[in-house]
Amino acid sequence: MIEADTPSLPELDGDELRRYGRHLVLSEVGTEGQRRLKGARILLVGAGGLGSPAGLYLAAAGVGTLGLVDFDKVDITNLQRQVIHGTSDIGRPKLDSASDRIRDLNPHVHVEQYDTALTSANALDIARGYDVIVDGTDNFPTRYLVNDTSVLLGIPNAFGSVLRFEGQASVFGANDGPCYRCLFREPPPAGSVPSCADAGVLGVLPGLIGTIQATEAIKLVLRVGSPLIGRLLLVDALEMQFRSIEVRRDPECPACGTHEIRELIDYEKFCGVTGAQTMEETKVTDISPRELSERMKRGDDIELIDVREEWEWQIAKLPGARLIPLGTLESSIGSLDRNKEIVLYCKSGVRSLHAAEFLANEGFRKLANLSGGILRWSQEVDPTVLRY
């Protein structure tokens, strides 16, 4: 963390004194606080929906060094909420797009790029030396990875998450406060919580939560106010209600309580996310887009079922598919041939997996789930299939 002695902090030049004038008149910030921000190093994990507003406001506030971890490219479907990127950036690495926007917003900010997925092998090396981590991830394995990295290195984690119209924010791993594992000791069953790609997210919601994360990070650097340590902020954008619940540190928490976790683990395995193609318990087989494409070209006897909604079907569909929305699947069982192999697909593979598991429980045995859904089909087989 940043040392308390003012002389060790970087000085502000004339341009910075003018740029940050509205900060300097705040007694809680002032010249010393602004120098703290300039000397701060904050790591953003993800340059997407949450990382976009967080990165913009941290840069505007004058944080001296921003680390960006991302390996994805800008897609048109990102632009509904990932405001750090623009239409002209489609196809560019998010790291380059975000870095250019940050430098344009504030050339005094130094951006350190990490063009990689955050993993157990690199997380400690990447995060070491930063003062705060801002968690902009959208999946459980990486959330647990960020949490354990935060605890092991003693770096506070400004946490955020969004889904549909609801968001959460907190500060984990700080001082004597709780960590993410104190709240969620075990991850939910794999596939039980839909992703934003399947469930959707109101575009402005990541802006609300990401800005809150940036606010908490700034407060931690300045050592002012009451950070969300020991509190989980719940945001309902549909009703525009904010409330917080107390989160206590769990003395039995394996990360920050008993300290059983001394090294980073396999978080994909911990969260039940595997690359295995066969799920023995349901007899559902994963099939890749390329494999399905080859089988369709051969004329294999396959019934292709799309379990998305009608409006999604109107945007894009696979050739030869039949639409049975997930909500109508139970009433449509009689129309399915139990002797024919059935391949189900949706947008990303989550809803179709639930559909396949439902059919397996109803006695169907020749079932396959299109891995990655129509989005992966568009990436790997037919780019003319629209992404949304």
Catalytic residue numbers, as ranges:
196, 346
Q: Are 99 and 115 in contact (CB under 8 A)?
A: no
Q: Are 64 and 37 in contact (CB under 8 A)?
A: yes
Residue-wise burial string across 320-332, b where 16 or more C-beta atoms lie within 10 A, e elsewhere: ebeebbbeebeee
Q: Are 268 and 274 in contact (CB under 8 A)?
A: yes
Identify which of 124, 131, 191, 196 has the alpha carbon closest to the alpha carbon of residue 160. Answer: 196
Cα 80 versus chain centre, distance: 15
For the beta carbon of residue 301, count every other beta carbon within 10 angstroms: 9
DSSP class per residue in 142-206: HHHHHHHHHHHHT--EEEEEEEBTEEEEEEESSTT---HHHH-SSPPPTTSS--HHHH-B-TTHH
Radius of gyration, alpha carbons of the chain: 23
Q: Are 116 and 241 in contact (CB under 8 A)?
A: no
Residue-wise burial string across 1-29, b where 16 or more C-beta atoms lie within 10 A, e elsewhere: ebeeeeeebeebeeebeebbeebbeeeeb
Residue 126 dihedral angles phi and psi, to the nearest 5°: -70, -45
Residue given tokens 């109107």 in the structure block? 314
For the record, the structure tokens of 367 come out as: 């079932």
